[in-house]
Structure formats: structure tokens, C-alpha cells
Amino acid sequence: MNPITPYCLFVGCFWLAIFGGTATHELEENDEHPHKWEMLYLVHQWPVTVCKMNEHDCKEDPLLYWTIHGLWPDKAEDCNRTWHFNLSELQDLMGDMKKYWPDVLHPNHTFFWKHEWEKHGTCAAMLESLNSEEKYFSKALELYKRIDLNSYLLKVGITPGSTSYQLAAIRDALIDAYGVTPKIQCLPGEEGHIQIIGQMKFCITKEFTLRNCTEPKTDPSPAPEDHFYHTEDLEICNDTLTYYPSHLHE
Ligand SMILES: *[C@@H]1O[C@H](CO)[C@@H](O)[C@H](O)[C@H]1NC(C)=O
Ligand SMILES: *[C@@H]1O[C@H](CO)[C@@H](O)[C@H](O)[C@H]1NC(C)=O
Ligand SMILES: *[C@@H]1O[C@H](CO)[C@@H](O)[C@H](O)[C@H]1NC(C)=O
Ligand SMILES: *[C@@H]1O[C@H](CO)[C@@H](O)[C@H](O)[C@H]1NC(C)=O
Ligand SMILES: *[C@@H]1O[C@H](CO)[C@@H](O)[C@H](O)[C@H]1NC(C)=O
């Protein structure tokens, strides 16, 4: 894909959304709901790093492409405990779900998807365009395909292996492609080892266009986390060398 394409797709639409005027929509959304949120994170995870963080659970060779961790509203979790996960509703999406949104540690993906729906999907469902399981999961798959991170990184020569990259090089490549900077999270290096890239969170408006993530300084409320994979060990990457591993052990 031409790197400009996703930029136009998202940033073009971003400005349209701003000037097209969605103010009334915004006003209606807020205040009436106890679980209000402003934007979504489309969280990509690097399965090799997830495996490193969960060595006891990691049975097979990890996948070598970025997979979906989740589509998470900021500032809201577990919004509707009576809206139970129903696997049958994902029947039509099953091929894509297993490929792009697998549980990277366990052979049965159902618990992972159930967890993502109950913790994040029931909050996302406040938007009409996400108010069913099928809409929620299929929108995440659609955004993931539009961002097409794996193809883009390969194309610009940022590939996993034994070499490392400066974080700035990765970030600049992402700005070139998408016009925005995702939050990039790393597993801190231990004892002189360098940090390891683990997750990328792309920030997405309620109109499903990419936006820059709010800087931590101006946003006092912590972003939601999801500890299904012990990702509490991840931190925002430092501006230094970053390892993008293709193997669990080198
Ligand atoms: C919560 O989920 C139940 C069951 O699906 C649904 O009937 C109800 O409208 C939902 N409540 C909200 C606030 O979305
Ligand atoms: C689960 O979804 C299927 C397919 O949409 C539907 O037929 C079934 O009634 C649902 N089950 C429950 C318990 O809601
Ligand atoms: C996965 O786990 C769920 C929940 O226990 C179960 O209903 C389902 O049959 C399992 N799927 C497979 C393929 O084993
Ligand atoms: C996002 O931030 C980057 C770097 O600060 C900037 O170059 C870019 O124009 C911003 N994009 C948008 C859509 O605001
Ligand atoms: C970034 O650097 C600080 C200070 O040296 C350190 O405490 C932190 O763990 C580092 N983060 C990562 C992701 O390596």
C-alpha cells in the first residue's frame, strides 16, 4: 500500500469530521451516560513480546505479525455487566478473528474475546455504530486492516530480528504513514538490556479517524489497561534503542 493512502484515509477524514460538524452528536453523548468516553485505542500487540511476558503460558512459537489486542474506549471499563458475550454472534467473522485477533497464548480464543467484549466492548457499545458484538468486533478488524501496520513496517524495512531500532526512527516512520503518533509501549530492558517493543495504541475518534494520542501531561486520567496478558509490565518506550525481536531467546 502506498504510505500516503492511510494518511489520506484517516487524516483527510479527520479534518472533514472536524469541519463537517458533529457537535450535536457529541453533546448528546456526554453527561447522560455514567461511562462516557472520548476516543478509542486500537491496540496492536507484538506476540513475541507477549510471550516473553508470559513465559509459563507461552507454549508455541509466537506469531510474527502484529495482532489486535483490543479496541478500548478511554476512561471506561465494564460498562454493562448484564450484556453477556455470545460467541455465536461472531460466526461470520471467525476466519478474521482467528487470524488477526487471536489469543496469542491459548488455543481457545473464546475467553480472550469474552474478556475484551465485557471489559471494553460493552463501553464502546454506547455508540450506535458499535452497539452489538458483531459491530464492535468487525469495526476493530476493519480499522486494523485499514492501518495495515504489518505491511507498512515491512515496506519501510522495519523488520523483527536481531537488530534494534531507535524509537525515533519507528515513530517517524509511523508519522510519515499515518500523520499521527500512536502510543508505543515497551517491556523495560533488564540489567543493561535494551527495551523491547510490545504494543502500539492507535488513537481513534468516535468517527473512526486516526488522531494523535493526547499527551500524558495534559490528560490527568490514566489510559485504560488490560491485564489479560500481564501487560502491566509495559511502559511508554524511552527515546532510545528498541529491540524488535523475532525469537523468544537469542
Ligand atoms: C445492557 O445490556 C442489556 C442486555 O443486552 C441491554 O438490554 C441494556 O439495554 C444494556 N444497557 C445499556 C445501558 O446499554
Ligand atoms: C447468541 O447469538 C445467536 C446468533 O445471533 C442467537 O441465535 C442466540 O439466541 C444468542 N444466544 C443468547 C443466549 O442470546
Ligand atoms: C472454548 O471455550 C469455551 C468456553 O469454555 C467453550 O464453550 C468452547 O467450546 C471452547 N472451544 C473449543 C474450540 O474448545
Ligand atoms: C500529530 O503529531 C505530529 C507530531 O507532533 C504532527 O506532526 C502531526 O501533524 C499531528 N497530526 C495531527 C493529525 O494532528
Ligand atoms: C525508561 O528509563 C527510565 C529511567 O532510566 C526507566 O526507569 C524505565 O524503566 C525505562 N523504560 C523502559 C520502557 O525501558
pLDDT tens, position by position, for the chain (250 residues)? 444 344 444 544 443 333 333 333 444 444 455 678 999 999 999 999 999 998 878 877 899 999 999 999 998 999 999 999 999 999 999 999 999 999 999 999 999 999 999 999 999 999 999 999 999 999 999 999 999 999 999 999 999 998 899 999 999 999 999 999 999 999 998 888 999 999 999 999 999 999 999 655 555 556 667 778 888 889 999 999 999 999 887 6
**DSSP symbol at 148:** -
**Number of neighbouring beta carbons within 10 Å of residue 190:** 8
Q: Which ligand is in closest contact with the Cα of 171?
A: 4
Q: What is the pLDDT of residue 223?
A: 64
Per the annotation, the verdict on 230 as an active-site residue is: no
Query: Of 28, 55, 109, 120, which residue is the catalytic one?
Result: 120
Q: What is the pLDDT of residue 93?
A: 98
Q: Under a CB-based contact definition with an 8 Å cutoff, are residues 211 and 14 in contact? A: yes
**Number of neighbouring beta carbons within 10 Å of residue 218:** 6
Bridge partner residues of 40 (DSSP)? 73, 204
- CA-to-CA separations, 195 to 75, 187, 188, 236, in angstroms, rounded: 28, 6, 5, 10
Per the annotation, the verdict on 120 as an active-site residue is: yes
- CA-to-CA separations, 39 to 56, 101, 124, 194, 232, in angstroms, rounded: 34, 21, 9, 32, 21
Smallest CA separation from ligand 5 atom 8, residue: 188
Per the annotation, the verdict on 250 as an active-site residue is: no
CA 180-184-98 angle, to 5 degrees, is 95
Query: Of 116, 142, 225, 227, which residue is the catalytic one?
Result: 116
Smallest CA separation from ligand 5 atom 5, residue: 238
Which residue of 86, 117, 135 sits with most ligand 2 atoms within 8 Å of its CB, as the best mutation to test the pocket?
A: 86
User: Which run of H or of E encompasses 116?
Assistant: helix 110-116
To the question of pTM greater than 0.85 for the whole model, the response is yes
Backbone angles phi, psi at 83, to 5 degrees: -95, 90
Query: Of ligand 2's atoms, which has the minimum distance to the CA of residue 91?
Result: 4
Q: What is the pLDDT of residue 222?
A: 61
